[in-house]
Amino acid sequence: MRIAIASDHAATDLKAELAEWLIDQGHEVADLGPDAGQSVDYPDYGYKLAEVIAEGTVERGIALCGSGLGISIAVNRNPVVRCAVVSEPLSAALAREHNDANCIAMGARLIGIEMAKSCVATFLATEFADAGNPSGRHQRRVAKLGHPPDGSDTIEPLQ
């Protein structure tokens, strides 16, 4: 599988370990940076990761920062990308199975390398529940993620 990985300066060590492990697993990995020792802004790398996912250059993405939160927000600015913050294999599986996530984010200050590997392995191995079923309930919901309402649609409040 073709996978891109990007981080901020807080997660370069985790990024390097995961990239090496993924290559050892037989995946093609694009390390989008940064190099260790550089202080960088996570949005720059989140946007770069989202771009290669949206273009179809890679099939999946892994976004890393100190908490996983900031970079995931940046990645999710692209409407084609669905990035879920995960911290254990169940959330990684559900992100793929129910949300057809094409990217996961993790926090280097919150997760160890073995748990990160478990999350990535689960994320890569899990199929979308509605793959090949354009009328499935998960597919219907995922389609809405890339097309937010323009404001003319309203939801009536509960009484």
Q: Please identify which of the residues 9, 27, 98, 147 carries the catalytic annotation.
A: 98
Beta sheet of 83-85, edge-to-edge order: 28-31, 2-7, 60-65, 103-107, 83-85
Q: Give me the helices (H) in 8-156, please.
A: 12-24, 42-55, 69-75, 89-99, 113-125, 137-145
Tokens 């309402």 -> residue? 149
How buried is residue 14: exposed, middle or buried, by Cβ count under 10 Å (0-12/13-18/19+)?
Answer: buried
Active site residue 119: no
Active site residue 65: yes
Q: Please identify which of the residues 9, 65, 103, 119 carries the catalytic annotation.
A: 65
Tell me the C-alpha distance between 63 and 3, whole Å.
11
Instruction: Please identify every residue annotated as catalytic.
Output: 65, 98
